[in-house]
Amino acid sequence: MLNDPLANVMSLILNNELIGKSDCLIKPVSKIIKELLRVMKENSYVGEFKETEDSRGNYITLTLTGNINKCGVIKPRYSVKSNEFEAFETRYLPAKDIGILFVSTPRGIMTHYDAKSKKTGGRLLAYCY
């Protein structure tokens, strides 16, 4: 039984990156996972992904590019205001302007850079660098 599908996806991506695979199969699929992959693709951490429907539930085939050094989820999902990102950047990212934090905002899932520029807060989901 899966307790946290998002954490399972992030660890699956990291493990496949570390062993040098070029693609991975993600199952189960949710809206949050698809949006997180879309943001990762926009920031060129992963390549293309394609959702495939089958009789036992959907799955995603993800192309890896080798750009991920570390990724993971943030537990608990801290609530953050638009001017409080600095503390979490120093906690989860290795250096200033390296890596991204994924934030679930009322405007959708975005990076912490986008949330700062739009002056919106939200809940922290994950990090990647």
Q: Which pLDDT belongs to residue 2?
A: 75
Tell me the pLDDT tens digit for each residue of 75-121: 999 999 999 999 999 999 999 889 999 999 999 999 999 999 999 99
- Contacts (Cβ under 8 Å, ≥6 apart) of 48: 41, 62, 63
Q: At 41, which CATH number?
A: 3.30.1370.30
What total number of domains does the chain contain?
A: 2
Task: Indicate if 60 and 76 belong to the same structural domain.
Answer: no
Q: Which domain holds residue 124?
A: 71-128
Task: Indicate if 58 and 83 belong to the same structural domain.
Answer: no
Residue 70 has pLDDT above 80, yes or no: yes
Task: Indicate if 60 and 88 belong to the same structural domain.
Answer: no
Task: Indicate if 13 and 46 belong to the same structural domain.
Answer: yes
Task: Indicate if 15 and 52 belong to the same structural domain.
Answer: yes
Task: Indicate if 56 and 77 belong to the same structural domain.
Answer: no
Tokens representing residue 86 in the block: 């600095």
Task: Indicate if 86 and 121 belong to the same structural domain.
Answer: yes
Task: Indicate if 46 and 81 belong to the same structural domain.
Answer: no
Q: At 118, which CATH number?
A: 3.30.1490.10
Domain boundary among 36, 64, 92: 64
Tell me the pLDDT tens digit for each residue of 23-56: 999 999 999 999 999 999 999 999 999 999 988 8
Band of the pLDDT at 1, cuts 50, 70, 90?
A: low
Residue 68 in contact with residue 128, Cβ under 8 Å? yes
CA angle 9, 98, 104 (to 5 degrees): 50
* Residues 80, 82, 84, 85, Cα dihedral to 10°: 90
Band of the pLDDT at 73, cuts 50, 70, 90?
A: very high
